[in-house]
A and B are shown apart, each in its own frame.
Chain A
Amino acid sequence: GENVEQHPSTLSVQEGDSAVIKCTYSDSASNYFPWYKQELGKRPQLIIDIRSNVGEKKDQRIAVTLNKTAKHFSLHITETQPEDSAVYFCAARDTGNQFYFGTGTSLTVIP
């Protein structure tokens, strides 16, 4: 089955700096890659996603890039704010339509 690895597990940045979280996947046939944000004690919520036929997608301060050849994708958050502090999960959907999640990155934005 699909295996998704995520790095780093923890990340601290100063407010206003950028944050980058990286994920790799094993199944070259996986075709959809969402990112979820989970605030403390809350449920995961989708923040951005990318399909395998697209190399980059941007939504205001967040962007996701996908390198199919290398089988990795990344989340970029620019001009970080304290409210960006949360756990972020990447995921990959395989051809069986199942989602496999990374182990999460705990992002702390220091005011």
Chain B
Amino acid sequence: NAGVTQTPKFQVLKTGQSMTLQCAQDMNHEYMSWYRQDPGMGLRLIHYSVGAGITDQGEVPNGYNVSRSTTEDFPLRLLSAAPSQTSVYFCASREQNGANVLTFGAGSRLTVL
């Protein structure tokens, strides 16, 4: 049981490049989400999904796309990276009902030059 797995751990992009942050969980959690963490800003919700085929926007969705084709995977796409997207990104999952414990991945540090 690996929990929540994120790749890559580190990435450097140039402005305008695209990339996908991968997130996978093996706990059969229906709910998955992406947060970004910036100094002094805490953790802010980007997008979330309550099940395969269902996604919705969080607090700061602009510039990011997501999809949820399987229960296990929830990739985050940056179509045209901007320096303002330099951040640490965390994927988190939990059961949709019942226990509310968010389980976080190890994080992906993204730098956009």
Contact = CB atoms under 8 A, between A and B. Distances in A.
Give the secondary structure class of A's interface. Answer: strand
Contacts of A100: 45, 59
A9 interface: yes
Contact size range, B: 20 to 34
Contacts, number: 47
Nearest to B3: A43
Contact of A43 (B31, B42, B100, B106): B106
Interface in A1-39: 1, 4, 6, 9, 32, 34, 36
B106 A101 contact: no
B40 A43 contact: no
Contacts of B101: 34, 46, 49
Residue of B31, B42, B105 with most partner-chain A CB within 10 A: B42
Contacts of A49: 100-101
Interface of B: 31, 35, 40-45, 48, 58-59, 90, 96, 100-102, 104-107
